[in-house]
């Protein structure tokens, strides 16, 4: 018998039913959903397992990886600095990050960078293993990279580079890594349980990720 935790306004019982059906009909292993209408929470539900162990039931404070949602969080940090007059969206990125001017990027504006127009969706040259976990290495490589198209002439999703690009601008202006700024300026004051860079002591709260080939993991097969 599936046990669904949390609360749901009776008027939104269909939400609870659809959530439960994800487990009983679609093979969901663990999940949560929170629905607010005009600022009022009408459904806050969780169920299933966050991991393979018997003591790893999904909890109200279970965390999940949100991937590109992080781009919005980083952009919010940049917007806060713009609102305070510490960044100008139409200024060249090189004003704040001088090394960025290399390889024809002198005139790339912060606005173009934030809107995926900077022409830096990837790096051409192969990088050493582990480079994506090394901030100085990635920042230096992106600063040296030649744009893949004339900046401002088109868009291209900066899927794995946006965080380094916008985050390095934040670091140059504030001296803080983006995770620290998010914690101190936005998440902390709001009491929001959202993180970029999670302390090791909190890792036990993170749900197991089931990738595109769940057959490799008995837990993810359900």
Query: Is 68 noted as a catalytic residue in this protein?
Result: yes
* Rounded Cα distance, 165 and 153, in Å: 19
CB burial string 179-217: b at 16+ within 10 A, e below: bbbbbebbbeeeeeeebbeeeeeeeeeebbebeeeeeee
* Rounded Cα distance, 168 and 194, in Å: 20
Structure tokens at 153: 């002439």
Phi-psi region of 93 (alpha: psi -120 to 50; beta: other; left: phi over 0): alpha
DSSP state of 25: T
* Rounded Cα distance, 160 and 120, in Å: 10
The sign of the dihedral angle between the CA atoms of 215, 132, 49, 73 is negative
Could you tell me if 81 and 174 are in contact, meaning their C-beta atoms sit under 8 angstroms apart?
Answer: yes
* Rounded Cα distance, 69 and 87, in Å: 22
Active-site residue set: 68
């Amino acid at each position: 018998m599936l046990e669904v935790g949390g609360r749901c306004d009776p008027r939104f019982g269909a939400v609870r039913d659809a959530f439960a059906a994800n487990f009983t009909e679609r093979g969901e292993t663990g999940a949560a959903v929170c629905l607010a209408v005009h600022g009022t929470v009408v459904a806050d539900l969780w169920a299933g397992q966050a991991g393979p162990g018997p003591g790893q039931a999904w909890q109200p404070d279970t965390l999940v990886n949100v991937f590109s949602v992080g781009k919005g969080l980083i952009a919010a940090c940049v917007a806060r600095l713009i609102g305070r007059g510490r960044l100008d969206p139409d200024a060249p990125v090189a004003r704040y990050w001088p090394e960025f001017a290399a390889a024809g990027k002198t005139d790339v504006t912060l606005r173009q960078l934030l809107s995926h127009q900077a022409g830096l969706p990837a790096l051409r040259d192969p990088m050493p293993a582990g480079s994506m976990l090394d901030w100085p290495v990635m920042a230096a490589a992106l600063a040296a990279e030649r744009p893949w198209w004339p900046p401002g002439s088109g868009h291209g999703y900066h899927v794995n580079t946006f965080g380094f690009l916008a985050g390095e601008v934040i670091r140059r202006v504030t001296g803080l890594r983006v995770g620290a700024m998010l914690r101190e300026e936005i998440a902390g004051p709001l009491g929001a349980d959202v993180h970029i860079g999670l302390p090791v002591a909190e890792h036990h709260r993170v749900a197991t990720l089931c990738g595109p080939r769940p057959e490799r993991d008995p837990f993810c097969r359900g």
